Amino acid sequence: MAEKDIERVLLTADEIADRVNSLAGEIRSRLGDGEIVAVGVLTGAFVFLADLVRRLGGNVDVRFLRAASYRDGTRPGELRIEPAGDLSLAGRDVLVVEDIVDTGKSLEGILRWLQERGPRSITSAVLLDKPDRREVDVSADFVGFEVPDEFLVGYGLDYAGRYRNLSSVAVLRRSVYEGRD
Ligand code: 5GP
Ligand code: MG
């Protein structure tokens, strides 16, 4: 059972829903009533994206990209970004949707990658932000919640492929990922 692996709930489903609702309103105020291309970063953003786009209303084209860091030791920190399906952004208003900004390296790389595709505008929305962990100078236009430097799961965020289906955002018990050999 997932529940015993949880240290504590940080954000309840209701708190998240309220915040996503107001974020959607703020984003529409900024971008206006035209079409938005919502680009979700797989896989962690899929729950946030699903809730956010339903609150945005109007014309929203939902697309995805994949961003992964090489962790094989050969080129540490190298970010590989690729579209997941068709992704034509030229002249369009892009809303990139991410789960969490930690060091900032992923978001920085993604914003640069999107910029090269010639959009009319790029706006970024992240559910969670760990400002204490930042290593590169990047910030999202819209942030759901600032969170402490703890390992979080739920509402799309996983540990080893699990916990994405929790309705809340929770701190994972350290014993789940430490002290095992
Ligand atoms: P950054 O490039 O900003 O260091 O990393 C962002 C990525 O790290 C996120 O998209 C996410 O995949 C992962 N990440 C950072 N903090 C957490 C966390 O607390 N929980 C989970 N599940 N992933 C995290
Ligand atoms: Mg991610």
pLDDT in tens, 131-159: 999 999 999 999 999 999 999 999 999 99
pLDDT in tens, 99-141: 999 999 999 999 999 999 999 999 999 999 999 999 999 999 9
C-beta of residue 76 within 8 angstroms of C-beta of residue 53: no
User: Using 50, 70 and 90 to split pLDDT, how confident is the model at 3?
Assistant: confident
- As annotated, the active-site residues are 102
Cα(33) to centroid(ligand 1), Å = 31
Nearest to 152 by CA among 32, 56, 47, 21: 47
Cα-trace Rg, the chain? 16
Nearest to 112 by CA among 68, 72, 79: 79
Q: Is 152 in the pocket of ligand 1 (CB under 6 A)?
A: yes
Indicate if the pLDDT at residue 68 is higher than 80. Answer: yes
Cα(75) to centroid(ligand 2), Å = 19
Indicate if the pLDDT at residue 74 is higher than 80. Answer: no
**pTM summary value:** 0.94
User: Using 50, 70 and 90 to split pLDDT, how confident is the model at 78?
Assistant: confident
Q: Is 40 in the pocket of ligand 1 (CB under 6 A)?
A: no
Task: Specify the DSSP class assigned to residue 5.
Answer: G
Cα(111) to centroid(ligand 1), Å = 16
Q: Ligand nearest 170 Cα, by number?
A: 1
pLDDT more than 70, % of the chain: 93
Q: Is 105 in the pocket of ligand 1 (CB under 6 A)?
A: yes
**Which atom of ligand 1 approaches the CA of 147 most closely?**
19
User: Using 50, 70 and 90 to split pLDDT, how confident is the model at 75?
Assistant: low
**Residue nearest atom 16 in ligand 1 by C-alpha distance:** 102
